[in-house]
């Protein structure tokens, strides 16, 4: 049994290293901390058991409730854009599987993450705890309102697409901080926006086109 576990861990480690080289490095991800985090986080332990063998494929995967875990490249790209470093306190909206939170937690000091589906939030919280992450807090609720008690944040990552950037999130961003967020209508091409707050002013630019699941609101959820 022990040997089987060691063999499997090795197998997934090698899939992870290949994923990092062929999907991330080859497409221009250069931040060493991000690459190291993605070599380390066991993505296969954060997706539903029956699809764990596809965990390192170059695509998003279903995680239940009609939601998806983002493609590894998108996770790396968004993480790199907030220029993560060990002093940071980061807010994520859309915990999903917990994978993005884990990648962040490998690099930054503290991660606060909000998930609107109770089932997903509880599962992610349990899985992240089992993996030993002590610097991630998961809250169940509508991320539109952010996490005022913990604000301000050095960076905010939103992993579901609203039609406009939620004002409370702009307010909860620290001066000098950055936000990465997909914006647009469901099923249409959405824009990945990088916002930066400087001297109290929030300025945005579009970095690429993306497709994310919609940003839900509490009353519209089911
Ligand atoms: N970051 C996730 C990706 C999950 S997909 C991961 O690494 O796996 C986006 C997630 O956002 C879904 O789980 C969805 O339920 C959640 N979501 C959508 N609208 C939300 C909202 N208003 N507040 C919090 N979470 C939301």
Residues 115-173 have pLDDT tens digits of 999 999 999 999 999 999 999 999 999 999 999 999 999 999 999 999 999 999 999 99
List the residue whose alpha carbon is closest to atom 26 of ligand 1.
94
List the residue whose alpha carbon is closest to atom 13 of ligand 1.
96
The number of the ligand 1 atom at minimal distance from the alpha carbon of 63 is: 8
Q: Is 159 left (phi over 0), alpha (psi -120 to 50) or beta?
A: alpha
Q: For 41-146, where are the alpha helices, taking DSSP H only?
A: 72-81, 99-105, 118-130
User: 218: pLDDT confidence band, cut at 50, 70 and 90?
Assistant: confident
Model pTM? 0.96
The structural domains of the chain, ordered by start, are: 2-210 (3.40.50.150)
Write out residues with Cβ below 6 Å of ligand 1: 67-70, 93-94, 96-97, 99-100, 114-117, 120, 142-144, 159-160, 213, 215-217
* Tokens at 94, concatenated: 């859309």
Whether the CB-CB separation of 81 and 194 falls below 8 Å is answered with yes
User: 221: pLDDT confidence band, cut at 50, 70 and 90?
Assistant: low
* Cα 194 to ligand 1 centroid, rounded to whole Å: 18
Does residue 70 have an active-site annotation? yes
DSSP 163: S
Kindly state the percentage of the chain with pLDDT values over 70.
Answer: 97
* Tokens at 37, concatenated: 């985090």
Residues 45-69 have pLDDT tens digits of 999 999 999 999 999 999 999 999 9
């Amino acid at each position: 049994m022990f040997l089987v576990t060691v063999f499997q861990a090795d197998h997934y480690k090698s899939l992870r290293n290949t994923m990092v080289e062929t999907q991330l490095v080859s497409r221009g991800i250069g931040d060493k901390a991000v690459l190291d985090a993605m070599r380390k986080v066991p993505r296969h332990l954060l997706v539903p058991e029956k699809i764990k063998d596809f965990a390192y494929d170059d695509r998003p995967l279903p995680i239940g409730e009609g939601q998806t875990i983002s493609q590894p490249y998108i996770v790396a790209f968004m993480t790199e854009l907030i220029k993560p470093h060990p002093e940071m306190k980061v807010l994520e909206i859309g915990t999903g599987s917990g994978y993005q939170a884990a990648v962040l937690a490998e690099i930054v000091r503290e991660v606060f993450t909000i998930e609107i589906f109770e089932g997903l939030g509880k599962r992610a919280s349990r899985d992240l705890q089992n993996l030993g992450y002590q610097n991630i807090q998961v809250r169940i609720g509508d991320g539109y309102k952010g996490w005022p008690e913990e604000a301000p944040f050095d960076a905010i990552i939103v992993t579901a697409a609203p039609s406009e950037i939620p004002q409370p999130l702009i307010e909860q961003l620290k001066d000098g901080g950055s936000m990465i967020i997909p914006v647009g209508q469901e099923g249409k091409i959405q824009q990945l926006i990088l916002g930066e707050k400087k001297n109290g002013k929030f300025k945005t630019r579009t970095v690429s086109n993306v497709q994310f699941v919609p940003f839900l609101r509490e009353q519209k959820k089911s």
